[in-house]
Amino acid sequence: MGTSVLCEDLIKVYNSRKTKVTALDNLSLTVKEGEVFGLLGPNGAGKTTLVRILATLLKATRGHAEVGGFDVDKQENKVRQIIGYAGQDSERSAYWRLTVRENLLYFAHALRDIPIRVSKERIDEIAEGVGFKDRLDRHFIALSGGEKQLVIVMRAILHNPQVCFLDEPSKSLDPMTARRVRTYLKKYAQEHGMTLIITTHNMLEAEEVCDRLALINHGKLRFTGTPAEFKKRVKFKETLEIGTNNLSKELESNLLTLSGVRDITHDVNVRLYCDDAFEVLPEVVDLLKNSGLKVPVKMVEPSLEDAFAFFVENGEEEVKTSA
Amino acid sequence: MPNPVKLFYMSVWRNLLTMTRYKANFVFEILSSFLFGFGMIIFAVAFDVNLLSNMVGSTNYVAFIIIGISFQSWQGTALWGSASMFQGELSTGQIDYTFSCPFSRYWYIASNIAASALQSTLFFIPMFCVALYLTSSTLTSLGVFLGLIATLLTVAVMAQLGAVFASLVLKYRQTTAIFSFFNFAFQMLTGMFVPFQLLPTLLQIVGYCLPITFGMDLVRHHVMGTLPIMSVTYEWIGLVLQLIVYTIIAKMAVMYLEKSAKEEGLHYL
């Protein structure tokens, strides 16, 4: 498989009179042809900036980037011919008074130069794939936020691009629709050899769809590899989940003093990250009992979300690059 | 890569679909155009006919002003139509998608201006017909033909200025006040509502740089038989020269401002 996307030492600095923000800081990565590649990172990490540079919408301050072998800066029209793009927060970005079908026909024929007959067939085919055929003749303005988002995703692959950039494509979608779209996009990418680059905060989506992931934080690349490799990189391989999110400060401190307990996080439940969960389990149960808490405690595998939190919180972790 | 003709007819198709979607509004917009034309007859009573006759060689103030209003409509479309479109695309985020597509930005702007001008024409044809009816005594086939050519040429030159203004939106995002400033200047310095000959010399010099001045004067001359502000041949040459110069400026401005906007990002107001 050849290289579909190449970034070398990309730097992007946003300069205004008062502030100077480095959005990308010497970022290098490669994405192979036909790969489904996920870009993860906390808000403001630089994911969208990277996608916008690759989609020829933004100019890098320094560095070099190629899409499909074309330089994004010097051969931008060649790049535009082979890419599809759905930006973040773009669910309003179509003509409100036109129907979905009319919108897609305009974008396909006028802006993407697809013959009208082929455009109509493509619209039906893709709408069928994502389960939207019954709403093609509704006005765009009458759609829900999630439906509008879906139209924008459909528009991005309408012209069968070689490389498609989707910036948080499932943000407004309900879980069922998100799953259906994920499945369709993955299948579509495999069948058409399309390279798909997705930015997402949805770890389930990243795990299910992506062949490889990159984690970006503060504009720097922290990790690239498969989702499985990503999870394996979490130093504390074992996790104990305590069925409450309401522990006293004292109890938390006591839990952290236990031998082999490395960290503690709160979400719906409390999670203890340990070197050996089985070994520490009896002591944890004892501490909870002594505090008068009767809550379930179970051993769980670290999730992609755990790995994400680990990498974000341990920001200076060295970059592991796998081609 | 999409060609300008395809961009143009698809933009016309899109605009027609959009404006005919609300039928009652569409019908009343056309009716208003007729009404406005006839309403001008009342307005004409208040105007000093002798002054107009001395200045422009015609006493037909109704036709004079209707042609001015028609030009104002085309001016609005050509100068600001595309800029408004870009502002809309910026506020909805559509500009991201548009600019990730492979076509010439200059032709995208020009095609959309042409499509909007066609749409404006549809609404102003009734009013323009009223003006032609009122000038029937001086009207000839050649006059109508030359009037139309002058109109098309003027709209083409204004579209170049429109492309420059549209590009300004890419760079400066919010440009409403800039539009208002220039819009007022264009209306006052070109003889749109008051005869050009009444303007002080300094303002007349500025007016000569604007395509509407020659365009409107040529239309009034050929349709109504008014006295031109300078030799008709020079006015035609002036319009053609303006088309060449403003096209070069527009292409360079679009290229420069798109590059410049890419430094900060194109998206969102």
Q: Burial, A269: exposed, middle or buried (Cβ in 10 Å; 0-12, 13-18, 19+)?
A: middle
Q: Amino acid identity, residue A245?
A: N
Contact across the interface for A110 and B7, Cβ inside 8 Å:
yes
Residues B1-25 pLDDT 10s:
668 888 888 988 998 888 888 888 8
CB-based contacts of A187: which residues, under 8 Å, 6+ apart? none
CA distance linking residue B252 with residue B258, whole number of Å: 10
Distance from CA of A62 to the nearest CA of B (A): 12
From A80, A195, A74, select the one nearest B1 (Cα to Cα). A80
| Series of mean pLDDT values for 10-residue runs along chain A (323 residues) | 92 84 92 95 91 94 95 94 90 90 95 94 93 93 90 94 92 84 90 94 87 92 87 72 86 88 82 84 90 87 75 58 44
Asked if the ipTM is above 0.85, the reply is no
Mean residue pLDDT across chain A: 88
Question: What is the token pair recorded at B159?
Answer: 């579209």
Distance from CA of A137 to the nearest CA of B (A): 13
Task: Write out the DSSP string of B57-83.
Answer: S---HHHHHHHHHHHHHHHHIIIIIHH
Length of chain A: 323
Which residue reads 């990250």 in tokens?
Answer: A273
pLDDT of B43 > 70? The answer is no
Question: If interface means Cβ-Cβ distance under 8 Å, which residues of chain A face chain B?
Answer: 14, 52, 55-59, 77-78, 80-81, 83, 85-87, 89-90, 92-95, 97-98, 102, 106-107, 109-113, 152, 155-156
Residues B166-178 pLDDT 10s:
888 877 777 778 7
